[in-house]
Structure 1
Amino acid sequence: MVNATKTSHEIAWKPSREGWIQVQSDGSVLQPSGSAAAGGLLRDHLGRCMGAFTCNLGKCSITRAELKGAAEGLELAWKLGYRNAELNVDSRTALDIIKNRDHTDHCHGLLAKQFSSLLLREWTVEFNHVYRECNFAADFLATKGHCSPFGTHLFDVSDPNFCYWLYHDSMGISRNRLINDMI
């Protein structure tokens, strides 16, 4: 039998390596309406925002919203000419689907195929699971997606509420999180 204990950890946003763009994305579903949205941003190794987006998705599952946000983030990185991307998502389920991409009978099979297509391009993409505590800027954008018209839209990065989260991250402000440790 495996016992799990929780240990306190300080979690903060970490920049990517120089020459890489960090794609942060998140999904959001409001209850009880089922209204779904996604959002994300691109950051350079200094933490500067190089682009941001919101998506109003109508109604769908949280996993689909997470996947759509990740796909839109990678597509934006490609369109802006970045060829080394680090994708950070806070959903382990979405990350598993993205990494495996062999879900032809899976309910998210079409999005899995979209990732296969994205990853066949001539670039390097690395995947990371991150905790919500270092993904607050993407969380903010996903929430803003609920107020956007249907579809994907570039986001005005001068929004003061968004700038707060960028500053919060770049200053290395951490949050405490209890994480299960397996013994």
Structure 2
Amino acid sequence: MGCRDVVLESDSAVAVNLLNKAVDVPHPLATLLWGCQDYIKKCWGCSIYHVYRECNMVVDRLANLGSCLDLGLCTFQVPPDNIRSSFVDDLCGLCRPWAVV
């Protein structure tokens, strides 16, 4: 797509930590992580950060929607209805309660 600077935000602190640090050989996901890290180090800027899902509900709702779709690439010409309201909320910086169980 020609993007040169990418910011990746994930609500998985474990995934962010694994991608941002060196991986030991005995780690069960070492090969997958090395592949991701090599791709991240290509000729572009990529920063990876942890964010709580309450800070980016669009991504959270897209992830939930993705679990119901068929395998393969899915593109949208317009955002699905249940995502539009989250988009506006995220742009406005709407605060959401964070439940700790």
Counterpart residue type for residue 144 of structure 1: L
- Give the equivalent residue in structure 2 for 1:169: 90
- Give the equivalent residue in structure 1 for 2:8: 87
Deviation at 1:130, TM superposition (A): 0.6
Counterpart residue type for residue 114 of structure 1: G
Deviation at 1:94, TM superposition (A): 0.5
1:137–1:165: 8 Å Cα contact kept in structure 2? yes
Distance between the aligned counterparts of 2:72 and 2:29, measured in 1? 18
**Which of 3, 16, 28 is residue 107 of structure 1 equivalent to?**
28
TM-score (norm 2): 0.83
Residues 141 and 149 of structure 1: CA distance in aligned 2, closer, same or farther (over 3 Å): same
**Which of 144, 158, 169 is residue 79 of structure 2 equivalent to?**
158
**Which of 119, 122, 140 is residue 43 of structure 2 equivalent to?**
122
Q: Which residues in structure 2 correspond to 1:20-169 (within 5 Å)?
A: 80-169=1-90
Deviation at 1:151, TM superposition (A): 3.0
Deviation at 1:178, TM superposition (A): 6.9
SS in 2 for 1:167: helix
Residues 149 and 178 of structure 1: CA distance in aligned 2, closer, same or farther (over 3 Å): closer
SS in 2 for 1:158: coil
Q: Which runs of 5+ in 1 are unaligned?
A: 1-79
Deviation at 1:83, TM superposition (A): 0.8
Counterpart residue type for residue 106 of structure 1: H
Deviation at 1:176, TM superposition (A): 3.1
TM-score (norm 1): 0.49
Counterpart residue type for residue 170 of structure 1: L
Identity %: 28
Q: Which runs of 5+ in 2 are unaligned?
A: none
Superposed structure 1 runs of 4+ greater than 6 Å apart: none
SS in 2 for 1:125: strand
Deviation at 1:131, TM superposition (A): 0.9
Deviation at 1:105, TM superposition (A): 2.4
